[in-house]
């Protein structure tokens, strides 16, 4: 890197940091954080538990955003200092090398923060509802679904998201038949929508005494949790409600209760359930949130099909389409079939390292909708 190249890099970095300061509304986020923390310090804050938990989640999201921005701002300041020091001797190779290393690290952090500018969809900032379903294949697919469950919960931890298990159905011998999770955090849906589709696993089966290679499938559906101000008409006479005892896996995922709720929406045939809460009333409220999200998505899907029939662009991330392949035998590779992103570090991916796949999806979505990329 030359001194002139460093000078140009500083200008570019400052412009990008300034843009992020405005786009992310950093002053507004700081004010919102101060207001939320003031509420948390008031007596009786936990008297209304659900509102209190929402505030805590909001504080966590705001802190994550502000911390990420503060990091890039600080690194840009460090780069500015190096430029000023290099002015004394523009040919100092060690100084320029250090500046080059700082820029590489800063650019990587800038790209992470800039991803927020891609999350501008109507519900990208919302919480998400994630549904996992084992495909055909019995125990094999149920075991794979439990692996996917773990992969996502680890990813949520990495992202600073919190989650609650609303419903879970264990497999007959091992693993999970299905699971429904509420994922809470800023831009939870924006990131998680990248995971909507079928995930395919190829491995030597631990359940096959002959050690043959098996292929298993797990379907992942992701819905945005719909805000209360969006009206979805749900008539009480269209609902069939059943209560039953929780069937959680020995308390590993949910509390065993006598108040689990299953709701069938008769006109659409949609069935939703919640068994996490000890209160039947709360379980019903959770199930209604899921139903509302599914009915909204159903209407949006009708609109998308109408647009496609009149020449619109068909989305390639529909639930039901295969999006990613995880091969553990005869070689190790995880490959996203939409973006082409692949890695041989399968252990890291299954341990929740999914950022690279989500980022590639978001950049591809941006190109598809605007014709622009983050570097344009």
- At 315, which CATH number? 3.30.70.1660
> Tokens 């006109």, residue?
267
**Domain end (from 92, 118, 144):** 118
Is residue 201, in this structure, part of any structural domain at all? yes
In a domain, 304, yes or no: yes
Residue 274: its H or E element: strand 270-274
Same domain, residue pair 92 and 217: no
CB 3 within 8 A of CB 86: yes
Q: Are residues 183 and 315 in the same domain?
A: yes
- Say if residue 227 is in the same domain as residue 105: no
| Residue 269 belongs to a domain | yes
Asked if residue 188 and residue 146 are part of one domain, the reply reads: yes
Confidence band, pLDDT 50/70/90 cuts, at residue 371: low
Alpha carbon distance 231, 266 (integer Å): 19
Clarify whether residues 161 and 143 are in a common domain.
yes
Measured between its terminal Cα atoms, the distance across the chain in Å is 23
Query: Which residues in 206-234 are b (16+ Cβ under 10 Å) and which e?
Result: eeeeeeeebbbbbbbbbbbbbeeeeeeee
What is the residue range of 349's domain? Answer: 128-370
The CATH number for 77's domain is: 1.20.58.410
Q: In what order do the strands lie in the sheet with 239-244?
A: 239-244, 260-265, 270-274
* Number of domains forming the structure of the chain: 2
What was the pLDDT predicted at 221? Answer: 94
Distance (Å, whole) CA 166 – CA 176: 14
Last residue in a domain, options 68, 95, 118: 118
Residue 331 lies in a domain: yes
Q: How confident is the model at residue 315 (pLDDT cuts 50, 70, 90)?
A: very low
pLDDT in the model for residue 308: 61
Claim to verify: residue 142 and residue 247 sit in the same structural domain: yes
Identify the pLDDT of residue 314: 43
Residue labelled with tokens 């094999």: 140
* pLDDT above 70 as % of the chain: 90
% residues pLDDT > 90 (the chain): 52
The verdict on residue 375 lying in a domain is: no
Q: Is 194 exposed, middle or buried (0-12, 13-18, 19+ CB in 10 A)?
A: buried
Whether 376 maps to a domain, the answer reads no
| Residues 29 and 157 placed together within one structural domain of the fold | no
| Residues 188, 100 share a domain | no
Domain end (from 78, 100, 118): 118
Question: Tell me, what's the pLDDT at 77?
Answer: 93
pLDDT confidence of 83, banded at 50, 70, 90? confident
């Amino acid at each position: 890197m030359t001194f002139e190249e460093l000078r140009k890099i500083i200008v570019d970095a400052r412009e990008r940091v300034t843009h992020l300061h405005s786009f992310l509304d950093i002053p507004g986020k700081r004010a919102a954080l101060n207001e939320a923390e003031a509420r948390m310090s008031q007596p009786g804050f936990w008297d209304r538990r659900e509102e209190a938990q929402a505030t805590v989640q909001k504080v966590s999201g705001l802190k994550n955003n502000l911390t990420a921005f503060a990091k890039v701002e600080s690194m840009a300041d460090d780069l500015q200092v190096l430029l000023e020091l290099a002015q004394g001797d523009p040919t100092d190779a060690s100084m320029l090398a250090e500046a080059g290393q700082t820029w590489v690290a800063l650019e990587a952090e800038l790209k992470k923060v800039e991803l927020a500018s891609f999350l501008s969809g109507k519900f990208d900032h919302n919480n998400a509802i994630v549904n996992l379903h084992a495909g055909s294949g019995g125990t094999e697919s149920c075991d794979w679904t439990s692996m996917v469950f773990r992969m996502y919960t680890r990813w949520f931890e990495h992202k600073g998201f919190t989650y609650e298990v609303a419903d879970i159905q264990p497999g007959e011998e091992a693993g999970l038949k299905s699971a429904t999770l509420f994922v809470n955090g800023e831009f939870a849906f924006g990131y998680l929508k990248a995971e909507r589709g079928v995930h395919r696993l190829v491995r030597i089966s631990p359940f096959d005494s002959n050690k043959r290679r098996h292929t298993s499938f797990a379907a992942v559906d992701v819905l945005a949790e719909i805000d209360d101000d969006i009206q979805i008409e749900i008539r009480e006479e269209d609902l069939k409600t059943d209560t039953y005892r929780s069937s959680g896996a020995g308390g590993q995922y949910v509390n065993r209760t006598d108040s689990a709720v299953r709701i069938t929406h008769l006109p659409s045939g949609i069935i939703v359930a919640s068994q996490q809460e000890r209160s039947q009333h709360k379980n019903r409220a959770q199930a209604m949130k899921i139903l509302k999200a599914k009915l909204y998505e159903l209407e949006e899907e009708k609109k998308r099909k109408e647009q496609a029939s009149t020449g619109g662009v068909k989305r390639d991330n529909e639930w039901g389409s295969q999006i990613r392949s995880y091969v553990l035998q005869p070689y190790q590779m995880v490959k996203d079939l939409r973006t082409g992103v692949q890695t041989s570090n399968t252990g890291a991916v299954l341990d929740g390292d999914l950022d690279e796949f989500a980022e590639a999806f978001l950049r591809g979505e941006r190109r598809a909708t605007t014709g622009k990329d983050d570097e344009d």
